[in-house]
């Protein structure tokens, strides 16, 4: 029998990924209070549901950041490549790169020398992105990096020694608690070099009802997005969650800016995951995701405490969202 070494390597990587997924899920559901990591939302169905969320009128974040990328494209390009030298444009958690594609098109039109390196934990969304960009911007050089943020940044630095510009859009940074976000930005700064840039998106504090509606739509798309993680655990980890016995619950605390989603167990129940039994009592919550909202002062503190220097701050027309450009000095 012929063994293809690439095939074996691929299989090993898949089983390592599944092992990590299983370990994280068992650890998080074994903790008190129970939680799940939102980075696991994004399988094929999760990616599709997130695209539906982005198209919802109430999910204002996408349109606000799109406004910045459509109307301030030249400004962004001038800030991130002041000397026109070659660079790598890395996008963390790129998704389908819908917003960044405006910047990519502009840079290609300007004849900029750069490679686009989208990083995402979802292999599915990276193939969607690649197909889309190959069609719309055929001259763009794309190197897809599938995996966790920092592991893939290390890979990007091994692949090329060019100057780096990192995009971290969609207020993904808000999916971390403040201490985690600070540690994330500090570690990111340490991985970059003097003269590198970070363009980072922040959803700003605004009327609490506007925020709550963005995450608690009447059509139930956000609820399905959260519940889909239980379906994914059923499929990939041999589990038996009864999805109808869990309900999505959303909160927003205007004094801290923390918007949190939960799944609530509707009854006392036991769930089997492989050889493990996980008990849930009636009304017990699984904490799913934080989407932190920021004031401009919170953002200045984060830049300063993590060691970045603020270059500029770009707002959408409504001033609901900010893309900050930070530099490593
Ligand atoms: C909320 S979506 C945002 C997508 C895009 N940045 C935007 O603004 O539209 C988050 C994306 O980040 C990816 N992601 C989440 N956690 C990640 C991690 N730890 N490492 C790599 N990618 C991650 C997800 O797969 C998903 O595509």
Tell me the pLDDT tens digit for each residue of 83-129: 889 999 999 999 999 999 999 999 999 999 999 999 999 999 999 99
Residue 105 lies in a domain: yes
Q: Is 173 in the pocket of ligand 1 (CB under 6 A)?
A: no
Burial class for 286, CB neighbours closer than 10 Å (0-12, 13-18, 19+): buried
Does 128 sit behind a cis peptide bond, omega within 30 degrees of 0 on the bond before it? no
For ligand 1, the distance from its centroid to the CA atom of residue 258, given in whole angstroms, is 19
Q: Is 120 in the pocket of ligand 1 (CB under 6 A)?
A: yes
- Domain extent at residue 256: 15-52+210-290
Q: Is 170 in the pocket of ligand 1 (CB under 6 A)?
A: yes
158 and 268 in a single domain? The answer is no
Residue 3 banded pLDDT, cuts 50, 70, 90 = very low
Q: Which atom of ligand 1 is nearest to the CA of 122?
A: 25
For ligand 1, the distance from its centroid to the CA atom of residue 169, given in whole angstroms, is 9
Residue 38 lies in a domain: yes
187 and 65 in a single domain? The answer is yes
Q: Which of 316, 239, 321 has its CA nearest to residue 274? A: 239
Q: Is 41 in the pocket of ligand 1 (CB under 6 A)?
A: no
Q: Is 95 in the pocket of ligand 1 (CB under 6 A)?
A: yes
254 and 192 in a single domain? The answer is no
The pLDDT value recorded for residue 17 is 79
Give me 4's structure tokens. 């293809």
Q: Is 42 in the pocket of ligand 1 (CB under 6 A)?
A: yes
Q: Give the residue whose CA is nearest to atom 9 of ligand 1.
A: 170
As a whole number of angstroms, the distance between CA 86 and CA 82 comes to: 11
Residue 2 banded pLDDT, cuts 50, 70, 90 = very low
Counted domains in the chain: 2
Q: What's the rounded mean pLDDT across residues 209-226?
A: 97
Q: Is 38 in the pocket of ligand 1 (CB under 6 A)?
A: no
Exposure of 124 in the CB half-sphere (CA atoms within 13 A)? 12
72 and 132 in a single domain? The answer is yes
Given a contact cutoff of 8 angstroms between Cβ atoms, the answer to whether 211 and 293 are in contact is yes
225 and 119 in a single domain? The answer is no
For ligand 1, the distance from its centroid to the CA atom of residue 217, given in whole angstroms, is 21
Tell me the pLDDT tens digit for each residue of 127-183: 999 999 999 999 999 999 999 999 999 999 999 999 999 999 999 999 999 999 999
For ligand 1, the distance from its centroid to the CA atom of residue 32, given in whole angstroms, is 26
* Bridge partners of residue 201, in order along the sequence: 323
Given a contact cutoff of 8 angstroms between Cβ atoms, the answer to whether 174 and 290 are in contact is yes
302 and 195 in a single domain? The answer is yes
Residue 10 pLDDT > 60: no
188 and 221 in a single domain? The answer is no
Give me 172's structure tokens. 């993904």
Residue 257 pLDDT > 90: yes
Q: Is 121 in the pocket of ligand 1 (CB under 6 A)?
A: yes
Q: Which atom of ligand 1 is nearest to the CA of 148?
A: 20
Residue 199 lies in a domain: yes
Residue entry with tokens 């060691």: 307
As a whole number of angstroms, the distance between CA 161 and CA 30 comes to: 42
120 and 159 in a single domain? The answer is yes
DSSP-assigned letter for residue 32: S
274 and 315 in a single domain? The answer is no
Residue entry with tokens 């979802």: 122
Residue 1 lies in a domain: no
């Amino acid at each position: 029998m012929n063994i293809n070494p690439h095939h074996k390597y691929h299989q090993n990587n898949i089983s390592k990924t599944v092992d990590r997924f299983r370990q994280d899920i068992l650890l998080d559901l074994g903790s008190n209070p129970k939680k799940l990591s939102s980075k696991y939302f994004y399988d094929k169905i999760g990616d599709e549901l997130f695209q539906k969320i982005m198209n919802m009128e109430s999910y204002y974040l996408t349109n606000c950041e799109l406004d910045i990328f459509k109307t301030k494209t030249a400004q962004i390009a001038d800030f991130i490549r002041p000397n026109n030298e070659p660079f790598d444009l890395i996008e963390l958690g790129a998704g389908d790169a819908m917003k960044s594609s405006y910047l990519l098109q502009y840079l290609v039109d300007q004849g900029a020398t750069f490679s686009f390196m989208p990083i995402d934990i979802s292999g599915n969304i990276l193939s969607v992105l690649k197909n889309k960009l190959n069609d719309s911007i055929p001259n763009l050089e794309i190197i897809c990096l599938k995996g966790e943020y920092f592991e893939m940044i290390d890979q990007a630095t091994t692949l090329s020694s060019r100057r780096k510009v990192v995009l971290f859009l969609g207020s993904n940074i808000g999916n971390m608690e403040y201490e985690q976000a600070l540690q994330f930005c500090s570690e990111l700064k340490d991985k970059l070099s003097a003269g590198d840039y970070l363009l980072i998106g922040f959803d700003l504090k605004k009327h609490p009802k506007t925020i709550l509606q963005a995450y608690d739509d009447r059509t139930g798309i956000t609820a399905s997005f959260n519940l889909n993680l239980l379906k994914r655990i059923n499929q990939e980890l041999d589990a038996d969650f009864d999805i109808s016995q869990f309900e999505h619950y959303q909160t927003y605390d205007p004094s801290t800016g923390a918007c949190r989603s939960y799944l609530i167990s509707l009854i006392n129940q036991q769930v089997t995951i492989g050889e493990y039994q996980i008990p849930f009592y009636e009304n017990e919550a699984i904490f799913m995701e934080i989407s932190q909202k920021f004031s401009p002062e919170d953002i200045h503190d984060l830049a300063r405490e993590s060691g970045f220097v603020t270059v500029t701050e770009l707002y959408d027309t409504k001033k609901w969202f900010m893309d900050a450009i930070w530099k490593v000095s």
